[in-house]
Amino acid sequence: MKINIHQLSNTKIAEVTSDDIIISKIDDALTLMADIYYQGFDAIILYEKNIAPAFFDLKTGIAGEILQKFSNYRMRLAIVGKFENYQSKSFKDFIFESNKNKQINFVGSVEEALKHLQ
């Protein structure tokens, strides 16, 4: 796992990259969030490929629980991926609702993520 640092005004953003799955369960997300927070970051950029496929199946409840933790701890998150590939109407609605605020965003590029997180 590698962390690329983006500094925008007073916001320090961690872009987390890896060749492996970083988040496969709720505890993984909490550990990552705590590690990033204690390094002084205000927000996280993750990639779709680094999150277990179960996250994107809303029936598992994993996405809702993980994103609720990010909201509760006020750690902003942008997930970069190709979300148009998901056919589930409920998942598309989930993305739409998440993207209404600046707390959790599903975006297509790092540039778009940075715009939402600054």
Distance CA 38, CA 7 (A): 16
Nearest alpha-carbon partner for 55 in 16, 75, 97, 83: 83
Q: How much is the pLDDT for 50?
A: 98
Domains by residue range for the chain, with CATH: 2-117 (3.90.190)
Q: How much is the pLDDT for 70?
A: 93
Q: Is there a contact between 6 and 40 (Cβ–Cβ < 8 Å)?
A: no
Average pLDDT along the chain, 118 residues, taken 10 residues at a time: 94 97 96 96 97 94 93 95 89 92 93 94
Distance CA 30, CA 116 (A): 22
Q: How much is the pLDDT for 85?
A: 84
